[in-house]
Amino acid sequence: MMKILVSFLFVFLSLTVQANDIFKYTLEKHQKFEKTLSFDVDDNQTLHVLVVKNKDTKMYDFIPFRMNAQQEVKEWTTISFEEIPEIISYHTNGDTFTLLSLEDEHLDIIDYSISEGTFSKDRWEDFTKPNNIFKQKGSTVFLEEKENGAQIKITTIENASTVEKKEISVTEDLQRTLKKLLRSDSEIVDQEEYIEHGSIFEVQAYLEKGVFYFVENDNDKEEEITLTQINPLSNTITNTVITAPEVDKLRDNNTQIKDGKLFAIFQGKEDFSFNVYDAYTAENLKSFTLSEQLSQLTGIRSKKSNYLKEVEKLKNRPTVAINTSKSGNYIVSVNYVDQNTYNYNNFWFMHFMMQQQMMMMQPGGFGPHVENFYPFYIALPMEGSKPLTFVLSKELELLDNASEEAEKEFVDKKKYSEQLQENKNIYHPSLGFLKEEYHYMYSDKKEDVIYIKSKPIVKRASSKRP
């Protein structure tokens, strides 16, 4: 009952808080609306891009507007394209905001000066989009296999003039494995923000402190986890199979990497084993079971039976989410999701894939309203699910009754986006998030007036965990 009241209060506050009407832009006769895009520049500012078809030049104009935390809007220099490109990544490094745009078979690296609003760009011809693109603070990294698996190529882009390329030779015994891994579909896990439910994808990819990790959770081999590490710092590649500890009627597993540690759950019918491994060596550092150590914790006992009942259902899969506290401890959340409807909440990836596929579905720039298309990309975790939350010290010891303040607060970006889409006065919205508020750009129904507005992020009552 309490959860229902809290959820209702969150929605009520979000819907009743008045947006600040900050900026309005009226399209000229030679401009035809196409879409909006929004980006987080840093903790203090967002960038909002109006995309229009220029009827005079027959080009597509990207008209950018930067908005800071003081809600001041500055228009940046317009950039034009022959076709609407695919934005494959973006990042901020110092005073430079970099967009990576793919059009036909060339890549444009577009550097905007944040303070001046002007841009420069460099073009790479004959470019093939890599399968693995990692967006991190200060750079974007491409990871590719070359020479039929004999080489790993790593390209780190800070800006158009600062690009580092590195190649690592792959030993013959690992070439087939690496080629298959890097050519297959994997889900890149965002390490920059905390997500309440992690990935349930069969292959999870991480980039942490310069080291790449690929974790394979084979649905047909729940007793095994394969950990592949690509370390450009030492020019080494390792591939290790981790075998599950003894768990009665083992049925599933899942993982997350944090601070060079692999946190793994091996789920059985009436129990699970939670293990922490060294992600460099695959050494088992700690092991706990729900039936023994975890059941002794105050916050676990009352939720244990409901969790086991729900996670046993064939449609559900266990999830692991790791947050760090401000004191450096680990806040662990074990939960479950419906694997038939759940998508990992990588908001940036889903947001831009949705926008770009909508354009492909819109002849002449028209088509279904965003709210009709969004459900194909966004699915919420199980309503009413109650996570099993506990705290591990830096030394990986269980801390009972620990009250820890989370380092990163979870912001349900999907919910804010959905609320905008449900507003019948808002069309084609895109969002950018700061710590205390979010900014969004949208058009009116006629697509001839564009607005940028701001709303506060409704915080939870407390960030203490568990």
Residues 129, 130, 131, 133, CA torsion sign: negative
Q: Are 453 and 444 in contact (CB under 8 A)?
A: no
pLDDT of residue 368: 29
Q: What average pLDDT does this structure show over 64-82?
A: 96
Helices 413-421 and 2-16 pack at an angle, to 10 degrees, of 50
Above 50 in pLDDT, residue 11? no
Q: What is the radius of gyration, based on Cα positions, of the chain?
A: 23
Residue 247: inside a domain: yes
Q: Which two tokens stand for residue 219?
A: 């649905």
Q: Are 51 and 35 in contact (CB under 8 A)?
A: yes
Name the H helices within 312-387. Answer: 347-360, 370-373
Above 70 in pLDDT, residue 173? yes
| Segment 32-61, tens digit of pLDDT | 999 999 999 999 999 999 999 999 999 999
Q: What average pLDDT does this structure show over 137-162?
A: 96
Least confident range from 213-222, 288-297, 325-334: namely 213-222
Residue 320: inside a domain: yes
Q: Are 242 and 225 in contact (CB under 8 A)?
A: yes
Q: How confident is the model at residue 404 (pLDDT cuts 50, 70, 90)?
A: confident
For the sheet with 252-258, list strands across it.
Answer: 252-258, 261-267, 272-278, 284-289
Name the H helices within 402-458. Answer: 413-421
Kindly report whether the peptide bond that precedes residue 466 is cis, defined as omega within 30 degrees of 0.
yes
Rounded Cα distance between 336 and 318, Å, is 4
Q: What average pLDDT does this structure show over 177-196?
A: 88
SS (H, E, C) 223-257: CEEEEEEEECCCCEEEEEEEECCCCCCCCEEEEEE
What is the number of other CB atoms lying within 10 angstroms of the CB of residue 389? Answer: 18
Residue 329: inside a domain: yes
Percent of the chain with pLDDT over 90: 72
Q: Are 410 and 195 in contact (CB under 8 A)?
A: yes
Residue 306: inside a domain: yes
pLDDT of residue 40: 94
Residue 440: inside a domain: no
pLDDT of residue 380: 44
CATH number of the domain where residue 234 is located: 2.40.128
pLDDT of residue 443: 96
**Closest residue by Cα to residue 242 from 253, 252, 227:** 227
Residue 338: inside a domain: yes
Q: What is the average pLDDT value for the chain, to the nearest integer? A: 86
Q: Are 44 and 68 in contact (CB under 8 A)?
A: yes
Residue 305: inside a domain: yes
What percent helix, strand, coil does the chain show, rounded to 5?
15, 45, 35
pLDDT of residue 370: 32
Name the domain count of the chain. Answer: 1
Residue 243: inside a domain: yes
Above 70 in pLDDT, residue 16? no
User: Residue 172 class from Cβ within 10 Å (0-12 exposed, 13-18 middle, 19+ buried)?
Assistant: exposed
Helices 413-421 and 347-360 pack at an angle, to 10 degrees, of 30
Pairing mode, if any, of strands 211-216 and 203-208? antiparallel
Q: Are 285 and 397 in contact (CB under 8 A)?
A: no
pLDDT of residue 460: 58
Q: Which range marks the domain in which residue 257 is found?
A: 194-342+379-410
| Segment 413-459, tens digit of pLDDT | 888 988 999 999 999 999 999 989 999 999 999 999 999 999 999 86
Q: How confident is the model at residue 218 (pLDDT cuts 50, 70, 90)?
A: confident
| Segment 256-280, tens digit of pLDDT | 999 999 999 999 999 999 999 999 9
Q: List Cβ neighbours of 167 (8 Å cut-off, separation of 6 or more).
A: 146, 151, 152, 153, 154
